Amino acid sequence: MMVLLVAGTHITAQAQKVVNVSLSNPGKPGKLKMTTTFGAIKIVGYNGKEVKISSSSVLPKKSHSDKSGGLKRIANSFMKLTITEENNYVKISTSSHQHITYLIQVPRKFDLKLGMVNGGKMEIENIEGEIEASNVNGSIIAKNISGAMLANTVNGKIIVDFDKIKPNTPMSFRGLSGKIDLTLPKSTKATFKMRADRGDIFSDFEMDIVDEPTVVKKGDNKKRIIVSKWVKGKLNGGGANFTLKNMHGNIYIRQKK
């Protein structure tokens, strides 16, 4: 197992330092796990055999109480990371309390497990693998994805554009406030379970909607009637279960052009 500590490394937008992480089995699929608070994550798949990590920070706006006397502020951001790698499983932990955007390049065939809190937008591009992503107070934006995904947001959108779908693999997309917008290949076979409590559901697919019967429970001379708020539909005859649940916002399911 390789352990790499990156502490006190000064990073500026003009001259970024790139940390290269070698893999135990170059050219083979791998997995990246990363969670950060106050920082943003952008993952980009590329045709390489290493994991490459860089970062940049955004200077805060000048406050009215600033007493610099007109002096120019110099960036003072540090990338503080602990990185471990074992059998192509890369784990990254952060300890910076500044708002830093981490740009991470991984081989395309990589699985991801990502978590963010108060960091803004999470971006994922060009990945062929299984993705598990969560973001609190920020959106999840993914494009050119081939594989499967589980995504959860609080106060943020979920926008995912799939190039290919991993067959027979369940997926889940859940949001508290913000739209859920999926673009899928026309040939996708899936059985959808959808719910938009304070929003609507839209699609340009020809979907077979399955009406769920009202459930009646009896006991002690009482009758309890349960009406489901879920909408179920089959796409291209049905397939793996796709769960989409949104508390405040619409759900969109689009055909890839």
Residue 6 has pLDDT above 80, yes or no: no
User: Tell me, what's the pLDDT at 13?
Assistant: 35
Does the pLDDT of residue 12 top 90, yes or no?
A: no
pLDDT value of position 68:
66
Residue by residue, DSSP assigns 45-107 as: EES-SEEEEEEEE-PPPPPTT--STTPPPPP--EEEEEEEEETTEEEEEE---S-EEEEEEEE
Report the C-alpha gap between 112 and 53 in whole angstroms.
15
How many angstroms separate the CA atoms of 213 and 185, rounded? 31
Least trusted range by pLDDT, from 42-51, 60-69, 136-145: 60-69
pTM (two decimals) = 0.86
pLDDT band of residue 174 (cuts 50, 70, 90) is very high
Domain boundaries, the chain: 1-58+76-107, 139-257
Mean pLDDT of all residues in the chain? Answer: 88
**Distance between CA atoms of residues 177 and 186, nearest Å:** 28
- What is the spatial distance between Cα 207 and Cα 203, in angstroms, rounded to a whole number? 8
Instruction: Dump pLDDT digits (tens) for 84-136.
Output: 999 999 999 987 677 889 999 999 999 999 999 999 999 999 999 999 999 99
Q: Percent of the chain scored above 70 by pLDDT?
A: 85
- Other CB atoms within a 10 A radius of the CB of residue 236 amount to 15
Backbone φ, ψ for residue 178 (5° rounding): 135, 150
**Rounded percentage of the chain residues whose pLDDT exceeds 90:** 69
Non-local CB neighbours of 230 within 8 Å, separated by 6+ positions = 193, 194, 195, 212
What's the pLDDT tens digit per position in 193-232? Answer: 999 999 999 999 999 998 877 888 887 778 888 878 899 9
Q: Is the pLDDT of residue 239 over 60?
A: yes
Phi and psi, residue 111, nearest 5°: -85, 150
All residues at 6 or more sequence positions from 247 whose CB lies less than 8 Å from its CB, including other chains = 175, 176, 177, 197, 198
Select, from the ranges 3-12, 35-44, 95-104, 105-114, the one with the highest average predicted confidence (pLDDT): 105-114
Q: Residue 3: its pLDDT value, please?
A: 66
